[in-house]
Structure 1
């Protein structure tokens, strides 16, 4: 019964909160409208998510969020130092192919988004077979170490969350 009413409970909550943030005023009417949107939109989109991923450890996603937030702050400082103080001829940008163990399209999307949101790196392309992702790194002295860090820091955690 609950899955019929709330096919994506986390999406319902997210849409409700997003609505309240958009209108920038918490009233009973706004809360009710946000909740209605949070119920109706997931019900309308449920048929398009037949193989929706199951989060095996949802609390790990919270720690992952804070890890990425921390990495974004630290990377912003590092990129600012590179751009402001490092001579151009000392910057060593690199293209790095990161082989993937992730199989879920949603997990791969989160990984690509994480890489792109972290300043200094951009996920540029997913291979046709979905087995590797091409990443551009603004500055690295050791591309293999950067690849290994992406796999250990992000991919391993996403594997725990999604699979």
Structure 2
């Protein structure tokens, strides 16, 4: 089974994405999406040699909910800044130390930070385990660091390590 489906989580997500994009759960779409998901999973094994292991699936669901709510909240905050401009918005850069080492956890954190309006993951230094983040409206750097560490990094550590 491992040879046919080396990355089952990836294949599952791809199949779900295929069905959502097709807006149909017909047998033909399921079969074709399954073939695509298996083919991509097999091709991905060449560049992703280790398996993705989610140790606490309920924490993963919690992370999705927390990040989703934060993205909605951030959309509203950025919209407020754009519609009610201040004389000088306080954009800035934050260099933050990370405890995360798992490449999948780091990738998820990068996606969360970049998908959240008003912030962007710019650079990761593996040697120092630091990340450079740009924030559109940086009021309190310590609050940002605490938010990322408590809301995202702590959950990712529980999920992947």
Q: TM-score higher than 0.5 here?
A: yes
Give CA-to-partner distance per residue, 1:87-108, whole Å, 9 cap, x none. 132x222211110100011111
The aligned residue for residue 51 of structure 1 is 50
More helix by share: 1
Whether contact under 8 Å (1:53, 1:104) holds in the other structure is no
- Which residue number corresponds to residue 157 of structure 1? 155
Write out per-residue CA displacement over residues 79-137 of structure 1, whole angstroms, 9 at most, x where no aligned residue: 11112113132x22221111010001111111111111111111111125260110111
RMSD: 1.7
- How far the C-alpha of 1:144 sits from its partner, in A, is 1.7
- Give the conservation status (yes or no) of the 8 Å contact 2:121–2:132: yes
2:122 aligned counterpart, secondary structure: strand
2:100 to 82, 99, 102: 102
**What pairs up with 1:1-163 in 2 under 5 angstroms?**
2-89=1-88, 91-129=89-127, 131-163=129-161
Deviates more, 1:124-133 or 1:68-77: 124-133
The unaligned stretches of length 5 or more in structure 1 are none
Q: Taking structure 1 as reference, are residues 130 and 33 closer, same or farther at Cα in structure 2, changes over 3 Å only?
A: farther
Structure 1, 121-130 or 134-143: larger mean CA deviation? 121-130
TM-score by length of 1: 0.89
**What per-residue deviation string (whole Å, max 9, x for no partner) do you get for residues 14-45 of structure 1?**
12222222333332111111112222321232
